């Protein structure tokens, strides 16, 4: 079930947080409301880390990551990098990369298996992404928009893209990403990636999101039946094939 | 599915727009800038907010005009295009949105309400353009406009009048002037037109209208005029004086086909033009033709009124002559578009065929033996003119016995007697002057008008400034004068205008089309 919240009266939740299956980053706000909303959902399941990147609070736009790793831009200070390395679980590789397009969250949309990249990213960066995050990288545009991270919200179970995406593009992307995709809106706006923070069992979106949009989100990301424990149960089912 | 783009040679995939759910109501719709379906958008945003929905307009029931403040009254029919334009102009704030369409919604005329449905377009929320229609109600209030209220107070109210007079015994000039005025629409603003003995009175509501009418007259006939005014009322506080203006206009009494004996001063001033001259054309200047030398002179109004001579003999005194012999012309001239040929002819009066005259005439180019002609009988006439007497005494050989003016077509006209003419003319709405004990004999008027029409037929240059309309009752007969070379002249069909007729049904149809 998706939760509606705001960061200091701003509905762009995806800009101020980064949610993956292994960890969650939130921006430092004057009040604790944002952090406590995440905490109520995720406490004890995955670590929630409060951080800035280069002193800027819009961390969701600046970094990109999944359960395998986290990529931060060259503007990240050494203290922040150290703080991240300390707080995140050991299997998560934190890597600072030197890239002209430093808003990595806007340029890269990824889940645990596949990533979409800005067409103008450097070859080196693409290789690093494939290496650190352990994903297959595709350079793509979504409905003629090059900032794929902003216009696409992706999890392992589904994704939402910009509402003006044509049917052919949707099919193409869906084949590439191997997940079901839907063209829709979040917070009544076109910028879907910036408006929502999503992982496999939960999602957080801005308070302007209407009930219709919420139902679309719930259905495409399959959030209704998803509980952290149920994922573990499913894994157990697939692991154990015989009872002795 | 895929289309080769011929211009750039690129491989373009066909794009079909998918559908997204409206963020409010969840109905599938094509994506738009507001991400809401039209109904949700309409419920969110009202672009007609702040626009006028009801307004009052004033209507004058006498003349059917609507008031555009502060002072203009615009004439418009019920549910017409002009009324629609006027209604939309009265709405304020309409420049904030784009007007797409406006049409009338039917209301009962008695209800004094006009309803207009207006469709506007405006931009809302990140670039989505929304179209919305809404009705505007106009309350019509009756209010007499100033001119109607003034007219109601005193219907005979006029501010300026033009008294047009010509001191001659016939009304030919006024018939011709009537046609000219109709053609140029010069008297369209006259409140009243009254016919009086030897003239016509025109009444106007405005001094400038009268002034422009006098200016028009000055261009078409030689006139002399004076202007007088009479005080009607005087507002002491604001020093406003109300006057009644009268223009007294005199038309020069010399007409076409008149025989004139010029006073010696005028004759020498015109280069010793033989004192006996014939007036051939009157427009804004008089054309005088010397029948012996075929020389023409032009006198404009000012030059004429300096001497103010009168005609010796007028067209009333024309006498019929039989032409027996025409000698070949001794001289030819073309003056002002008219051809003249000087030759000697043998003629005799119809009343006294025994007495033959051998005279010179300028009609040598059209007269043939056996023709009839009209001319002045100077031999037998008793002319009451001082100049003529002086001239008669001074000249050695005596005056010419007769001066022929024009060819006579009476015989040919006999054949066409009673048949309607091919053309008709329109008339000005004139009132007859009843008060002075009618000196005007209706039969005489008819005869004069008939002569005027004959004049029109014979002279193409007279028809130049006039509109003649096709006579619906006229049928082309086989014995038409077109085939007969000797027939009486008539107006060729190319010069006639078809009358413009607007039927009621056509008008209504047009209006309905416009409303849709």
**Using one digit for the tens of pLDDT, what is the confidence trace for A101-150?**
999 999 999 999 999 999 999 999 999 999 999 999 999 899 888 999 99
pLDDT digits (tens, 9 = 90+) for B18-27: 888 888 888 8
Nearest CB among A168, A185, A212 relative to B25 is that of A212
Q: How far apart are CA A218 and CA A222, in angstroms?
A: 6
Pairing mode of beta strands B496-497, B468-470: parallel
**Secondary structure of B254-295 as H, E, C letters:** CCCCCEEECCHHHHHHCCCCCCEEEEEEECCEEEEEECCCCE
Residue B476 is predicted with a pLDDT of 56
Strand partners, B440: none
Average pLDDT over residues B117-125: 83
Query: CA–CA distance from B351 to each of B326, B372, B375 (Å)?
Result: 20, 13, 13
How many C-beta atoms surround the C-beta of residue B296 within 10 A? 19
Q: How far apart are CA B368 and CA A152, in angstroms?
A: 108
Nearest residue on chain B to A182, alpha-carbon basis: B20
- Compute the radius of gyration of chain B from its Cα atoms: 36
**CATH number of this structure's domain A3-243:** 3.75.10.10
Enumerate the residues of chain B whose CB falls inside 8 A of the CB of residue A166. 15-18
Pairing mode of beta strands A64-65, A69-72: antiparallel
Token pair listed for B345: 């002819």
Closest Cα of chain A to B121: distance in Å? 22
Place of tokens 């078809």: B498
Nearest CB among A164, A188, A210 relative to B31 is that of A164
Place of tokens 């995709």: A181
CB contact under 8 A, B26 and A212: yes
Strand, coil or helix: B342: strand
Q: Which candidate, B372, B386, B254, B400, places its Cα nearest to that of B315? A: B254
Q: What DSSP character marks residue A148?
A: H
Nearest residue on chain A to B37, alpha-carbon basis: A188
pTM above 0.80, yes or no: no
Give the ipTM of the model, two decimals please.
0.72
Percentage of chain B lying above the pLDDT 90 cut: 9
Q: Which candidate, B22, B25, B3, places its Cα nearest to that of B12? A: B3
Domain ranges of chain A: 3-243
Residue B1 is predicted with a pLDDT of 42
Chain B interface residues facing chain A, Cβ-Cβ under 8 Å? 13-18, 20-26, 31, 35-36
Q: How far apart are CA B36 and CA B25, in angstroms?
A: 8
Query: CA–CA distance from B504 to each of B163, B507, B510, B511 (Å)?
Result: 38, 5, 10, 11
Burial, B410: exposed, middle or buried (Cβ in 10 Å; 0-12, 13-18, 19+)?
exposed
pLDDT digits (tens, 9 = 90+) for A204-232: 999 999 988 999 999 999 988 755 655 55
Query: CA–CA distance from B333 to each of B257, B328, B340, B375, B479 (Å)?
Result: 18, 14, 5, 20, 35
């Amino acid at each position: 079930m998706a939760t509606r919240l705001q960061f200091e009266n701003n509905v762009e939740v995806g800009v101020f947080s980064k949610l993956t299956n292994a960890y969650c980053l939130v921006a430092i706000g004057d009040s604790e409301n944002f952090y406590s909303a995440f905490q109520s959902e995720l406490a004890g399941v995955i670590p929630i880390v409060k951080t800035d990147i280069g002193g800027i609070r819009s961390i969701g736009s600046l970094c990109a990551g999944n359960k395998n790793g986290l990529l931060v831009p060259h503007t990240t200070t050494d203290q922040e990098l150290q703080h991240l390395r300390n707080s995140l679980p050991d299997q998560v590789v934190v890597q600072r990369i030197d890239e002209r397009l430093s808003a990595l969250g806007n340029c890269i949309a990824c889940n645990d298996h596949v990533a979409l990249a800005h067409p103008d990213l450097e070859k080196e960066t693409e290789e690093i992404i494939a290496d650190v995050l352990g994903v297959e990288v595709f350079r793509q545009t979504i409905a003629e928009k090059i900032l794929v991270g902003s216009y696409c919200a992706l999890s392992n179970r589904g994704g939402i893209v910009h509402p003006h995406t044509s049917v052919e593009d949707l099919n193409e992307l869906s084949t590439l990403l191997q997940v079901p995709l839907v063209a829709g809106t979040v917070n009544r706006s076109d910028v879907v990636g910036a408006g929502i923070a999503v992982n496999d069992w939960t999602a957080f979106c801005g308070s302007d999101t209407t009930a219709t949009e919420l139902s679309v989100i719930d259905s495409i990301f399959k959030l209704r039946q998803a509980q952290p424990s149920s994922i573990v149960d499913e894994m157990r089912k697939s692991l154990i094939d015989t009872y002795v | 599915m895929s289309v080769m783009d011929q211009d750039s040679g690129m491989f373009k995939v066909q794009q079909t727009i998918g559908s997204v759910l409206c963020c409010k109501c969840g109905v599938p719709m094509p994506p738009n800038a507001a991400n809401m379906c039209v109904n949700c958008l309409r419920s969110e945003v009202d672009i007609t907010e702040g626009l006028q929905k009801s307004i009052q307009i004033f209507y004058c029931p006498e003349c059917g005009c609507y008031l555009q403040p502060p002072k203009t009254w615009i004439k418009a029919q019920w549910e017409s295009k002009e009324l629609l334009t006027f209604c939309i102009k009265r709405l304020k704030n309409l420049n904030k949105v784009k007007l797409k369409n406006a049409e009338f919604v039917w209301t009962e005329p008695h209800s004094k309400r006009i309803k207009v449905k207006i469709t506007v377009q405006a931009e809302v929320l990140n670039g989505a353009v929304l179209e919305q229609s809404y009705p505007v109600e106009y309350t019509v209030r009756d209010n007499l406009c100033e001119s109607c209220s003034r007219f109601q107070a005193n219907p005979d109210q006029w501010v300026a009048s033009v008294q047009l007079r010509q001191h001659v015994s016939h009304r030919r000039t006024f018939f011709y002037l009537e046609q000219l005025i109709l053609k140029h629409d010069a008297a369209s603003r006259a409140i009243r037109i009254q016919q009086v003995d030897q003239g016509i009175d025109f009444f106007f509501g405005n001094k400038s209208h009268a002034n422009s009418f006098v200016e028009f007259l000055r261009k078409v006939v030689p006139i002399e005029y004076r202007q007088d005014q009479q005080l009607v009322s005087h507002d002491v506080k604001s020093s406003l004086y109300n006057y009644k203006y009268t223009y007294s206009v005199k038309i020069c009494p010399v007409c076409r086909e008149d025989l004139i004996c010029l006073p010696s001063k005028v004759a020498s001033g015109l280069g010793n033009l033989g004192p006996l001259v014939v007036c051939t054309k009157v427009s804004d200047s008089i054309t005088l033709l010397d029948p012996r030398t075929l020389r023409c002179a032009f006198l404009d109004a000012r030059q004429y009124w300096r001497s103010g001579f009168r005609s010796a003999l007028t067209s009333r005194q024309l006498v019929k002559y039989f032409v027996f012999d025409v000698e070949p012309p001794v001289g030819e001239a073309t003056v002002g578009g008219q051809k003249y040929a000087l030759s000697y002819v043998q003629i005799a009066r119809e009343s006294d065929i025994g007495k033959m005259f051998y005279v010179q005439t300028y009609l040598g180019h059209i007269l043939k033996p056996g023709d009839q002609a009209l001319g002045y009988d100077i031999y037998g006439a008793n002319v009451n003119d001082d100049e003529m007497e002086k001239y008669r005494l001074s000249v050695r050989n005596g005056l010419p016995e007769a001066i022929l003016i024009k060819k006579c077509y009476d015989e040919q006209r006999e054949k066409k007697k009673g048949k309607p003419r091919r053309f008709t003319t329109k008339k000005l709405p004139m009132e007859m002057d009843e008060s002075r004990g009618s000196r005007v004999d209706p039969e005489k008027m008819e005869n004069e008008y008939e002569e005027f029409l004959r004049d029109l037929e014979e002279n193409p240059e007279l028809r130049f400034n006039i509109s003649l309309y096709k006579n619906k009752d006229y049928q082309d007969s086989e014995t038409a004068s077109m085939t007969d070379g000797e027939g009486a002249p008539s107006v060729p069909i190319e010069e006639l205008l078809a009358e413009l007729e607007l039927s009621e049904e056509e008008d209504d149809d047009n209006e309905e089309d416009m409303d849709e």
